[in-house]
Structure 1
Amino acid sequence: MGTFSLEPDQLAWCAELRDHAARRLAPLAEKSEPGRVNRPLLTELGRLGLLDRLFTSGALDLCLMRESLARGCTEAETALALQGLGAHPVHAHGTPEQRARWLPEVGAGRAVAAFALSEPGAGSDAAALALRAEPDREPGASGAEGTGGWRLTGEKRWISNAPEADFYTVFARTAADAGARGVTAFLVPADRPGLTGEHLDMLSPHPIGTLTFDGVPVGPDDVLGEVDRGFRVAMGTLNLFRPSVGAFAVGMAQAALDATLAHTAERQAFGGPLSDLQTVRHTVADMALRVESARLMVHAAASAYDEAPDSGDVPRRAAMAKLQATETAQHVVDAAVQLHGARALRRGHLLEHLYREVRAPRIYEGATEVQYAIIARELYASHGEATRP
């Protein structure tokens, strides 16, 4: 395992990112249309070189980016993370042609990427996908040369950046009754015939929607990785991004803690500042304890991934970091709202914003209950290996 303390250059970079988030990115985020992709924000992320770093950085750097941006502008953090989630399978498993076509556009903020895994009946149980990839007997149906393509039929739901993305990493069933072993990942440009979508109105106004596939043509040149091995693509992506979801949560929790320190030191009540009250001081100390503990778990999981991404220990550490950090953030933000009182519930207040933002990470990329299941599965698997004669 790597060190648990950051180097001076890493700390300086995090401070620079927080400054960018507050000065350059937050003003663009304020101009967002609720529930829609903010392309000017993506362009600025590209101009700052942060989107390109999605493909050149390790897991720890990704976590540092997400936490630092979240402390100053959650919209910028989310925009960056969704680009990474949608495009990482192309970076890791795409052909040279696929990478050359899309990654420079993603890095510049000109192309919007999306990760299309969840379905109406397959969220936490990702292996239960129902989107069908049926053999296409018509030559050249995908627009590529040769035969051997498929037609995608079904629906995806809860897809971030849908239906506005320029391309989707889509997971579809190519082998019936094969569970996780019969799923294939495809790169599907948004202009393919038969692909439509709708926006969904969510608690936190992120771009998210549904996708309907009505015989959408794809070919062998659209496959990411290997046929019937797409579940590995999905899980490999989630093993990288789950700790960074934790980093996002830590960033929100730290922002809430910072605001609470400032508020309780200034707010007068009962003859002095709130910070003079023992119950307030204990609450703030507990918040700080939880934030720092979660941060250390996130850094440990990211360091483990950077040292050995294919290690059997990575899924457990990723699940632990994601679970601990997202649950911590929910608790810390709620405590911050309580100490701020009614002002924190007013529309436009930082904590009102964080209170809406902090709920979803406990669900997406594997709900808390799924993370418990992963942790237990990996622990019992390791125990079995250790005790096997």
Structure 2
Amino acid sequence: MSDTSFLDWPFFESRHRELAAALEEWCVTHLPVDHVDVDAACRTLVVALGAGGWLTHSGAGEGERLDIRTLSLIRETLARHDGLADFAFAMQGLGMGAVSLFGTTEQREWLERTRAGKAIAGFMLTEPGAGSDVAATATVAERVSGGWRLSGEKTYISNGGIADVYVVLARTGEAPGAKGLSAFLMPADAPGLSVVDRIDVMAPHPLAHLRMDGVVLPETALIDKTGEGFKIAMTVLDHFRPTVGAAALGFARRALDEALVRVGRARPSGPLADYQMVQGHLADMALKIDAAALLIYRAAWVKDQGAARISREAAMAKLYATEAAQEVIDMAVQLHGGDGVRTGMPVENLYREIRALRIYEGASDVQRLVIARSLLT
């Protein structure tokens, strides 16, 4: 059983502790799922998470605000049990984050479907020539009679190929760079949208390279106003970056749990846990986990208290938690010896799962830039 003493920290309220306990019980019953068919697994997870009521927390209802502590607790708990379950939950939130924060009543009909587990969401941001540099987005949205026509390509899109609806960032040209971008809500069955390629990665998730070849959307597809796309995207990431750190924290906690079991096993010469060097490694792992948790839930608490932006806090949480989790998991693999790199071992799976978190939603070096600029301005 993972350490839950952090739930007594002053960042949390009784409702958070009750949610964490209920979700833990749900996870023990429902996770992990069979990952042989990743697309099918994700669809199953979305339905199950919706039926369990957990996806209601992935977006904010009319007049509500996203609770970042709740989002973070859910991601940490799901990730500790099943990385794909965390992915399925997170993408329902991130995919519809723009609608949750800026959408119209009509657009929010899609949000209610994703919150119920009746539709799968995707966020079309990254392009072949625009990853960390969102301002370099080349996808174009042109005004046409009654709406917009979108042309361009997006890649490494989570839920690409299985999503029912996407939020897409495109250039509308009000100004150069970041100021000329807008956000649109696009159904997956829109004529002209196609899957160029499915992308296989080391920890399997539904990813795709998508193309928009003259996709026509109605005026009502525009989220907020033209030229606000970059602000919308950064606001969404501001809300969800601490939760990426929380997912990494869940992976790290599971790695420490597995390591404790491993080093505690009886051996003719005594358990590995008797060796001081091993104890030192365990201490370092625990230290990194608590430090990451403090940064994550500090950021989440600050946002939940009403802060307009938490760019610095979110960057610190995401950067430290993902980098620290990589180190914790690496040590867990080391403590397992040869078994640590055997396919199918929990720590081997965690080793593959954690790596992408240091890249997506702002790579580690991007987070360093965010933190440095907050010090220099």
TM-score normalised to structure 2 length: 0.93
* Residue 15 of structure 1: how far off its partner (Å): 3.0
For residues 266 and 375 of structure 2, what CA distance do their matches in structure 1 show?
47
For residues 178 and 87 of structure 1, what CA distance do their matches in structure 2 show?
26
For residues 91 and 224 of structure 1, what CA distance do their matches in structure 2 show?
10
For residues 267 and 205 of structure 1, what CA distance do their matches in structure 2 show?
35
- Who is 1:358 aligned against? 354
SS in 2 for 1:272: coil
Paired residues of 1:32 and 1:38 also in contact (CA < 8 A): no
Tell me the alpha carbon deviations over residues 328-363 of structure 1, each in whole angstroms, 9 at most, x when there is no partner. Answer: 110000000000111121221111110110000000
Say whether residues 1:70 and 2:79 are aligned partners.
Answer: yes
- Who is 1:21 aligned against? 27
- Who is 1:48 aligned against? 52
Give the counterpart of 1:306 among 304, 307, 317: 304
- Who is 1:245 aligned against? 244
- Who is 1:159 aligned against? 157
Say whether residues 1:256 and 2:255 are aligned partners.
Answer: yes
SS in 1 for 2:152: strand
Q: Which runs of 5+ in 1 are unaligned?
A: 140-146, 382-389
Alignment of 1:91-240 (within 5 A): 91-100=100-109, 102-136=110-144, 139=145, 147=146, 149-175=147-173, 178-197=176-195, 198-240=197-239
Cα distance change on mapping 1:61 and 1:7 into 2, 3 Å: same
Tell me the alpha carbon deviations over residues 233-254 of structure 1, each in whole angstroms, 9 at most, x when there is no partner. Answer: 1001000000000000000000
Give the counterpart of 2:295 among 294, 297, 305: 297
Tell me the alpha carbon deviations over residues 199-227 of structure 1, each in whole angstroms, 9 at most, x when there is no partner. Answer: 11111100011110101112320011111
Alignment of 1:78-89 (within 5 A): 78-89=87-98
Tell me the alpha carbon deviations over residues 13-66 of structure 1, each in whole angstroms, 9 at most, x when there is no partner. Answer: 32332232232131xx21551366621211110011010112245011110111
For residues 155 and 61 of structure 1, what CA distance do their matches in structure 2 show?
34
Give the aligned length: 364
Paired residues of 1:173 and 1:182 also in contact (CA < 8 A): yes
Tell me the alpha carbon deviations over residues 141-187 of structure 1, each in whole angstroms, 9 at most, x when there is no partner. Answer: xxxxxx2x221111000100002111110000000761110000000
For residues 289 and 8 of structure 1, what CA distance do their matches in structure 2 show?
25
For residues 25 and 42 of structure 1, what CA distance do their matches in structure 2 show?
13
- Who is 2:275 aligned against? 277
For residues 14 and 235 of structure 2, what CA distance do their matches in structure 1 show?
31
Paired residues of 2:39 and 2:162 also in contact (CA < 8 A): no
SS in 2 for 1:316: helix
- Who is 1:143 aligned against? none
Paired residues of 2:120 and 2:164 also in contact (CA < 8 A): yes
SS in 1 for 2:107: helix
- Who is 1:345 aligned against? 341
* Residue 3 of structure 1: how far off its partner (Å): 5.8
Cα distance change on mapping 1:33 and 1:53 into 2, 3 Å: same
SS in 1 for 2:336: helix
Instruction: Report the identity percentage.
Output: 45
- The AA in structure 2 aligned to 1:125 is D
For residues 342 and 260 of structure 2, what CA distance do their matches in structure 1 show?
19
* Residue 304 of structure 1: how far off its partner (Å): 1.1
For residues 267 and 155 of structure 1, what CA distance do their matches in structure 2 show?
55
TM-score normalised to structure 1 length: 0.90
Cα distance change on mapping 1:91 and 1:32 into 2, 3 Å: farther
Say whether residues 1:367 and 2:363 are aligned partners.
Answer: yes
For residues 354 and 15 of structure 1, what CA distance do their matches in structure 2 show?
23
Q: Which runs of 5+ in 2 are unaligned?
A: 1-7, 61-65
